[in-house]
Structure 1
Amino acid sequence: MASPNNSLTNSDKANMKKWRVFLVPLFARSHLTPLADFAGLLLANHPDIELTMVVTPDNTKFANGSALHPVQILTYPCPPISPQSAEPSVIDKAFHMARQGVEQLLQQHKPDAVIADVMFPWITAIAADLKIPCILFSVLSTFSMLVLDCFQKMRVRPALLDHVTVLGLPGPEIRMPVLELPSFVLEDNSVEKVHKSGLDAFGIVVNTCRGIELEYCDEFEKTQARRAYFVGPVTVSYPMYQRSIIERGGEVEGESENSCLRWLDTKNERSVVLVSFGSLCAFKSAQLHELAMGLEESRQNFLWVVKDADQSGEWIPEGWEERIADRGFVVRGWAPQLAILAHAAIGAFVMQCGWNSIQEATAAGVPMLTWPLAYEQFINEKLVVDVIGCAARLWEGGKRSTRETEKELVPRT
């Protein structure tokens, strides 16, 4: 008897029902972009699936610009989130509306699986009730998640301690000032909720790799998830990277995104310092003014990315743009950071220690100068400065905090 023919024709494949997967990123663009990149990896390896990104209305255009691959878009009501509007009441309202909106969409569409940001810990219970397999996606380093979990369990109280030591982790001893811990570790049980959600989910996909975080990936796999998948850095891993390095995210307001790259072409190798503090943290005008003066006084070539939120122009010192014209370039709004870091003219990166930026700089081989501002950024700084040794700390010995203050504007180094 002839053996059965198990091969599928193109017609058979076309008629097969695609496996529908919902992707649910946090509202911040630093969370949306890696999940969009992961979508590219999924489609490259599993073209038989159908992906839908579930985003806020404010992020629809950005989601379309980031996803250089065929994905559908669904939205749920949510207030716009920006550095200026990121008051606790606005954030709480956004999380509440996200939960309601996402739950309604899952009930309505009944996807075959959902992959959601780890910062939405309620998603695992909702998916379980609807009998939808759920995987969490984390844009945080395994190191920071382990440290946060440790501090949450220790019930750190700022009134009682100035510094706290991380217990039970591999590698060198980690000791941190309490003022550098994220407020959510000190004020609520959100880390505990994320930890429980991670154990309830089918597994956790983490945007990291063992090449950067080997021993911490091993520890995370043992203690934080039923299954752990380390897939990063996704921004430079998926097949459309060479095209996306320029095209992703849109255009710089008022000029082509290529203009900063053309300016870099005029500079010597490793002669330019990239200065960028990510999309989430806003500076006061007085701080921007002092930073502008410091960059001028440094007498170094620099490329400075100024966010949409900081574009009022009130901070620009008189005559400053004319004085720095030959050795400074200011990008207003979005910048093609991957392409900038890959350029031979870049010699260092002054950055806020967001995990996406750390991985992009590491992949490009660019040394980092760390200036953390908020969230888990001070913890990431410990990893790259004290554990890996691929970065140097700015403002060494100065008093720093995740809490906003105007007592000192900008450190003089």
Structure 2
Amino acid sequence: MASDGSSKKLRVVLIPFFATSHIGPFTDFAVRLAAAWPDAVEATLAVTPANVPVVRSLLERHGPAGAGSVAIATYPFPAVDGLPAGVENLSKAAPGDAWRINAVADDEALMRPAQESLVRELRPDVIVTDAHFFWNAGLADELGVPCVQFYAIGAFSTIAMAHLVGAVKEGAKEAAGKPFLWVVRTDMWAPPDGWKERVGDRGMVIRGWAPQKAILAHPSVGAFVTQCGWNSVLEAVSAGVPVLTWPMVFEQLDFSHFGPFEKLISQIDP
């Protein structure tokens, strides 16, 4: 129940990242939450001033019920050298400004004071925060309220990575009996015990950067498993190798349907 005895509504504060692609899912969730329990839940979206029109536009798409069911609260966006005033949305920022917004969002020293001040003023019973703002989990602990970290991009990428590691542990590559070259861009992964010995000369693991364009152009390459990053798409199309797509996040899902790319995909025998 709400901590204020004068209200029986559960106060939920939602704090999205500074991008329309994040604000949208947060807004949808807030509307659904308020609509499901109109007499029991009070949902408030906390955004910076320049993002208020974005929220209002999204709420209007839900009709009168949506526009009136969710409150909007604001906190100031920090002043950043080189970033014009009012540029506070990654989806609308020029390429030269986008990295500054990302840098600000990940900076606890810059972002936490304003967010914490607003949260303490609103006195929520629950905090739903974008995963970017990790410090809000600690703030929730201080306030003694639950906190949910909301991943606007969904859980697919996390689940896919867990599946990938599990597949390796179960011996997918060694069971296939085919030669392979595997690029691993992390030092945190290690193959299962005995895996290298069982694979032998059939497999090569490259850690870090790999000359992908040169590799794909080699006549011995029979197929390319890719997450569908733009560079990988272009290089695969240029090399003309069959492709197995594994898009995970962001634009990768769109690039996996790129016209010339689909022709390469269709060449793979089932």
Q: Provide TM-score, normalisation by structure 2.
A: 0.53
1:124 aligned onto 2:137: yes
* 1:139 alignment counterpart: 152
Deviation at 1:62, TM superposition (A): 1.7
* 2:51 alignment counterpart: 59
1:54-133 alignment, distance < 5 Å? 54-67=46-59, 68-69=66-67, 70-78=69-77, 79-81=87-89, 82-84=92-94, 85-96=96-107, 97-133=110-146
Contact 2:30 2:44 in 1 (8 A): no
Letter aligned with residue 25 of structure 1: P
Cα–Cα, structure 1 residues 16 and 75, in superposed 2: closer, same or farther, change >3 Å?
Answer: closer
Deviation at 1:177, TM superposition (A): 6.3
Q: For 1:36 and 1:138, how far apart are their aligned partners in 2?
A: 13
1:175 aligned onto 2:225: yes
Deviation at 1:113, TM superposition (A): 0.4
**TM-align CA RMSD:** 3.7
* 2:28 alignment counterpart: 37
1:396 aligned onto 2:261: yes
- DSSP-derived class of the 2:73 partner: strand
Deviation at 1:397, TM superposition (A): 8.7
- DSSP-derived class of the 2:261 partner: coil
Q: For 1:136 and 1:120, how far apart are their aligned partners in 2?
A: 8
Shifted more, 154-163 versus 83-92: the winner is 154-163
Contact 2:153 2:249 in 1 (8 A): no
Q: For 1:122 and 1:162, how far apart are their aligned partners in 2?
A: 38
Deviation at 1:121, TM superposition (A): 2.5
Cα–Cα, structure 1 residues 395 and 104, in superposed 2: closer, same or farther, change >3 Å?
Answer: farther
* 1:377 alignment counterpart: 251
Contact 1:158 1:178 in 2 (8 A): no
* 1:361 alignment counterpart: none
Deviation at 1:180, TM superposition (A): 5.3
Contact 2:31 2:70 in 1 (8 A): no
- DSSP-derived class of the 1:135 partner: strand
Q: For 2:29 and 2:145, how far apart are their aligned partners in 1?
A: 20
1:3-402 alignment, distance < 5 Å? 16-47=7-38, 48-67=40-59, 68-69=66-67, 70-78=69-77, 79-81=87-89, 82-84=92-94, 85-96=96-107, 97-147=110-160, 153-154=188-189, 157-160=207-210, 162=212, 175-176=225-226, 376-378=250-252, 380=253, 392-396=257-261
Cα–Cα, structure 1 residues 397 and 158, in superposed 2: closer, same or farther, change >3 Å?
Answer: farther
Greater per-residue helix proportion: 2
> What does the per-residue CA deviation read over 1:206-233, in whole Å, with 9 as the maximum and x for residues that have no partner?
xxxxxxxxxxxxxxxxxxxxxxxxxxxx
Aligned length: 176
Deviation at 1:160, TM superposition (A): 4.1
Cα–Cα, structure 1 residues 394 and 99, in superposed 2: closer, same or farther, change >3 Å?
Answer: farther
Letter aligned with residue 83 of structure 1: A
Deviation at 1:59, TM superposition (A): 0.7
For structure 1, list consecutive stretches of 5 or more residues without a partner in the other structure.
Answer: 1-14, 164-173, 182-369, 386-391, 399-413
Deviation at 1:111, TM superposition (A): 0.7
> What does the per-residue CA deviation read over 1:34-92, in whole Å, with 9 as the maximum and x for residues that have no partner?
21111121112111111111001111122122222322211122252333044423421
> What does the per-residue CA deviation read over 1:228-285, in whole Å, with 9 as the maximum and x for residues that have no partner?
xxxxxxxxxxxxxxxxxxxxxxxxxxxxxxxxxxxxxxxxxxxxxxxxxxxxxxxxxx
Q: For 1:109 and 1:16, how far apart are their aligned partners in 2?
A: 13
Q: For 2:7 and 2:121, how far apart are their aligned partners in 1?
A: 22
Contact 2:14 2:26 in 1 (8 A): yes
| Identity %, equivalent residues | 27
Q: For 2:189 and 2:152, how far apart are their aligned partners in 1?
A: 24
Deviation at 1:30, TM superposition (A): 1.2
Contact 2:48 2:75 in 1 (8 A): yes
Q: For 2:138 and 2:55, how far apart are their aligned partners in 1?
A: 26
Cα–Cα, structure 1 residues 115 and 177, in superposed 2: closer, same or farther, change >3 Å?
Answer: closer
Deviation at 1:381, TM superposition (A): 5.0
- DSSP-derived class of the 1:116 partner: strand
Letter aligned with residue 88 of structure 2: P
- DSSP-derived class of the 1:40 partner: helix
